[in-house]
């Protein structure tokens, strides 16, 4: 797996949401992506997954240029992502939600029964198998987050981008998501993890990218990034009243 961004820029009218971002991710790294609200994290996710097209710059994945390609082509190449605001297929059952990516990717090779079997295994892992016939609209917010993670496992991508998987999730479910991330990583997948939950970001990531106003201001091991004065300023701000902080210990 190799993802490379070269000077990627995204403008919305006069607003530059992503401003010349370049980085490379290789192998099965777990990369944390942090930054204040509005820094451009979700926009970057949309650019990589093809939902948005960059204004300029290039995105390469496994030796192929993917910017400008439609999202379903990029998904087929092996990039999967979740959405910050969950987007379950509400009037479809949990099982059908999982079958969608399974059939899209493996529909030619695997039978429906086989894919259902795999979906059930994933649902058991996510402790949701009792909900398989339930319409997704009947799930709680946290369960919908798990459902999105389950759909990603079905499509079996090489790179997974998780946009705020812990937001609004009960600690018990958070454990399941932790286990999920570890399991995905154990399978040799690369992960980009976006989160405002500093504790999980610092425990899980091997490398940290920091965005501020669309610009990449730091890229390196978490311990190093934590000491970076620009990052401290972006998080603490010059304003003393700002109450966001970096944890002192990971």
Partner 1 sequence: MNTMRAYYDRYLPWALGIAFLFGLLVFPFYQRESPYWVYVGANALFYAILASSWALLAGYNGQFSFAHMAFMGLATYASGIVGREAGIWALNWSPALSIPFGVLVAGVVGLLIGYLCLRLRSTYLALFTIAFAEILRLVFKAEVDLTGGPNGLYLKTFNLPFLEGLTRYASTYAPMYYTMLAVFLFSLVVMYALVNSRYGIFFRAVREDEEAAAALGVHVVRVRILAFVVSSMIAGLAGAVFHHSPGIGIVVPDEMQIGRMSLVIAMAVIGGSNNLMAAAIGALFLHFALEWLQEIPMPDALMSWLQAHQATLEAWGFGLGEAGLKTNAWRMVAFGILLMVTLRFWRNGLVSPILERIMQARAKEEVARGRAAKAGKDLADVDKLVVDESPNEGGQ
Q: Which of 7, 130, 182, 183 binds partner 1 (CB under 8 A)?
A: 130
Which of Mg ion, ligand ATP, partner 1, none has residue 83 at its interface (CB below 5 to 8 Å by kind)?
A: partner 1
Q: From the CB of 247, what's the least distance to ligand ATP, in Å?
A: 18
- Give me the helices (H) in the chain, please: 41-48, 71-77, 94-106, 112-125, 141-155, 171-186, 198-204, 222-227, 229-236
| 110 versus 196: smaller Cβ distance to Mg ion | 196
Which of Mg ion, ligand ATP, partner 1, none has residue 38 at its interface (CB below 5 to 8 Å by kind)?
A: ligand ATP
Q: In whole angstroms, give the CA distance from residue 184 to residue 39.
A: 27
Applying CB under 8 A, does 122 fall inside the site for partner 1?
no
Q: In whole angstroms, give the CA distance from residue 80 to residue 44.
A: 14
Total residues in contact with partner 1, by rule CB under 8 A: 37
Instruction: Using the Cα atoms of residue 191, residue 193, residue 198 and residue 199 in order, give the sign of their dihedral.
Output: negative
Q: Can you name the residues that pair with 78 across neighbouring β-strands? A: none
Per-state percent for the chain, helix, strand, coil, to nearest 5: 40, 25, 35
- Tell me, residue by residue from 65 to 104, as one string, x for binding to partner 1 by CB under 8 A and - for no binding: -----xxx--xx---xx-x---x-xxxxx--x--xxx-xx
- Residues forming contacts to partner 1 in the complex (CB under 8 A) are 49-51, 70-72, 75-76, 80-81, 83, 87, 89-93, 96, 99-101, 103-105, 107, 112, 124-125, 127, 129-131, 133-135, 151, 155
């Amino acid at each position: 797996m190799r993802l490379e961004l070269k000077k990627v820029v995204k403008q919305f009218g006069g607003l530059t949401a992503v401003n010349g971002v370049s980085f490379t991710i290789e192998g099965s790294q777990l990369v944390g992506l942090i930054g204040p609200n509005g820094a451009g994290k979700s926009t970057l996710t949309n650019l990589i997954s093809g939902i948005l097209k960059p204004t300029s710059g290039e995105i390469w994945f496994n030796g192929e240029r993917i910017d400008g390609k439609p999202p379903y082509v990029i998904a087929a190449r092996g990039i999967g992502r979740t959405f910050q605001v969950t987007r379950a297929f509400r009037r479809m059952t949990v099982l059908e939600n999982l079958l969608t990516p399974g059939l899209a990717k493996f529909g030619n090779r695997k039978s429906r029964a086989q894919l259902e079997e795999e979906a059930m295994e994933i649902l058991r892992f996510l402790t949701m198998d009792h909900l398989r016939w339930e319409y997704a609209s009947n799930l709680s917010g946290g369960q919908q987050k798990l459902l999105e993670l389950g759909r990603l496992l079905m499509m079996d991508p090489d790179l997974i981008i998780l946009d705020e998987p812990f937001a609004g999730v009960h600690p018990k479910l958070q454990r399941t998501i932790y286990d999920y991330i570890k399991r995905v990583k154990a399978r040799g997948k690369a992960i980009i993890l976006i989160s405002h939950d500093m504790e999980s970001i610092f425990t899980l990531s091997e490398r940290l990218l920091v965005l501020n106003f669309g610009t990449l201001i730091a890229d390196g091991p978490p311990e190093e990034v934590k000491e970076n004065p620009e990052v401290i300023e972006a998080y603490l701000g010059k304003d003393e009243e700002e109450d966001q902080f970096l944890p002192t210990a990971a």
